[in-house]
Amino acid sequence: MKNTSWLEGTCLFSVLMERSRFLLSITLLLVHHSSICTVGATQTNITTDQSALLALKSHITSDPHNILVNWSTTTSVCNWVGITCGARHLRVASLNLSYMSFTGTIPPHLGNLSFLVALSFKNNSFHGSLPHELSYLRRLKLISFRFNNFMGSIPSWFGSFPKLQSFDLYGNQFSGTIPSTIFNLSTLQDINLSANKLSGVIPREIGNLTMLKEIYLDSNNFNEIPKEIGFLHQLEKLYVQLNALKGPVPVVVVNMSSLTELTLYDNSLSGGLPDNICQHLPSLQILNLGRNQFDGLLPSKLCHCRELLFLNLEENNFSGSIPKNIGNLTMMKLLSLGYNTLTGN
């Protein structure tokens, strides 16, 4: 039986960190936009928002926990579940329906929420197509449709948000390639397209997103990382595991000194690893290259990655001895070198 403890441990760590990051991100985005408060009285200038949200309610076909019971004209919109209003304009600034077990579709009316900064429908069962009218929401800084049932091509109008910082389509059924318009999002800091059915080469235009700090493209069918990714000098986390990457690890990737987490687990990468792989990765904490086709000796200078917490090189074709100085990695929490042809104590 293959050892999956590395993957399970990393997944649990990532899930906990992701949820914490999401809650912090949505709070910071709203605070930066304006002072946020709950408004007690119905405001006449919010009637457009009210109509848009009632249209959404009518498109929700299953609300098993009766969460939307207070979405009615007898209650102020700013007191509705999942709604946060901005203090300055008294308009809907955040629509967060995450983890509510809804089933339904997204109506075009949501494009009228013109003051919306954060839009999150995480972990529901929304389906159908995403309406083009959402592209009118030019103030958006956060979009998450994580874990729903959207399919087809990623709409090209997702490139229409000049202030977008966080873009999350994890766990849907989007297929095809990443639309080139996505790479117009010059303020983007994190993108998560994992667990879809995307394929082809990761477009070289990704190098235009110079503000990016986190990239998650796991569980798709991408076959190549472009060298232009080396232009992302602020990138801290790169996850492209469970894809169809082949050939050697791109040199630019192991030269990205800003990286703290690099995970290329379960691909078809081959060749040897540079002996000085840690020379340009001084802040690396997670290195996961397991279940590939790497061969040759283990890098003798892994000890220079002094911040390493997790190291997984299992299920490759490495041979020779395990470097003794690997014991100098005193911060290491998990080390997996199994299913190779290694010797030593």
**Helix boundaries (H) for 34-90:** 47-59
Residue 39: pLDDT over 50: no
Q: Does residue 26 fall inside a structural domain?
A: yes
Is residue 11 a part of any domain in this protein? yes
Residue 49 domain boundaries: 1-149
Give yes or no for a contact between 85 and 91, defined as CB atoms under 8 angstroms apart: yes
CATH of the domain at 53: 3.80.10.10
Statement: residue 61 has pLDDT above 60: yes
Q: Is the pLDDT of residue 13 over 60?
A: no
Q: Is residue 71 part of a domain?
A: yes
**Mean of pLDDT over the chain:** 91
Q: Is pLDDT of 11 > 90?
A: no
In a domain, 19, yes or no: yes
Query: Can you give the pLDDT at residue 226?
Result: 96
Q: Which of 150, 230, 134, 163 is nearest to 195 (CA)?
A: 150
pLDDT given at position 19: 52
Give per-residue pLDDT as tens, 162-190: 999 999 999 999 999 999 999 999 999 99
Please tell me the predicted confidence (pLDDT) of residue 26: 53
Taking the whole predicted model, whether its pTM rises above 0.75 is answered as: yes
Q: What is the pLDDT of residues 227-254, one digit of tens each?
A: 999 999 999 999 999 999 999 999 999 9
The average pLDDT across 281-295 equals: 98
| pLDDT score recorded for residue 2 | 46
Confidence (pLDDT) at 344: 77
Residue 190 lies in a domain: no
Q: Is 69 domain-assigned?
A: yes
Mean pLDDT calculated for residue range 121-135: 98
Strands 237-239 and 173-176: unpaired
Residue 145: closest CA among 112, 186, 110: 110
Residue 287 has φ and ψ, to the nearest 5°, of -130, 110
Q: What is the longest distance spanned by two Cα atoms in the chain?
A: 75
How does residue 305 score in pLDDT terms, banded at 50, 70 and 90?
very high
Residues recorded for the chain: 345
- 34 pLDDT more than 90: no
Residue 301 lies in a domain: no
User: How many domains does the chain contain in total?
Assistant: 1
Report yes or no on 248 lying in a domain: no
